[in-house]
Structure 1
Amino acid sequence: MFVIMVYDAGERRNAKLLKIGRKYLHWVQNSVFEGEITEANYFKLKAEVKQRIHDTEDSVVFYTFRSTRYTNREILGKKIDPGNLIL
């Protein structure tokens, strides 16, 4: 399946969510990840995220697609290359 994960979290948890997201998906922009993932890894990803967030302060949204057949990705402006960024 193809997954897009978007999050808005407290300052202390941003780095933790970034690390979790990178373990399963490709980082495409600040607080945005996407990629192909197995259903088992999707459940692991959600479990890890749920352990790290505060339900009353943070928000994580997952968009799931069976395939990328009917999706289109268009970038306006500067293309971010995560390989060039050092945290």
Structure 2
Amino acid sequence: MFVIVVYDVDVKRVAKVHRFLRTHLHWRQNSVFEGEVSRAQLYEIKRTLESLLEGDDSVLIYEFPRGDFTLHVVGTDKSPAGEVI
């Protein structure tokens, strides 16, 4: 399945969350990652994120079961992906 992960975490944890997500997904732009993952990988991502978050931290994960979507970029594409991982 294709996922988009958007996060809003305290500045103290931004680097940890970013580093972790980069090991599983393609960095799209500030606080946004995307990529193709298995159900097991998604479970691991959620489990690890839960252990990294504190207080008012927030992570949104959008699932697209078949990867059927269209991306429209308005303005500068900060991280163009020729091929998503």
Normalised by the size of structure 2, how large is the TM-score? Answer: 0.89
Q: How does 1:67-82 map to 2 (within 5 A)?
A: 67-69=66-68, 71-81=69-79
Structure 2 distance, partners of 1:68, 1:59, is: 24
More helix, by proportion: 1
**Other-structure match for 2:16:** 16
* Structure 2: gaps spanning 5 or more residues: 81-85
Runs of 4+ in 1 over 6 A off after TM superposition: none
Q: Take 2:40 and 2:67, find their aligned partners in 1: how far apart are those partners?
A: 19
- Alpha-carbon shift at residue 65 of structure 1 (Å): 1.1
Query: In the alignment, which residue of structure 1 is the partner of 2:6?
Result: 6
Percent of aligned positions that are identical: 39
Supply the AA of the counterpart residue of 1:13: R
Q: Distance in 2 between matches of 1:81 and 1:3?
A: 16
Separation in 2 of the partners of 1:81 and 1:4?
14
Which consecutive residues of structure 1, in runs of 5 or more, have no partner in the other structure?
83-87
The equivalent of 2:83 in structure 1 is none
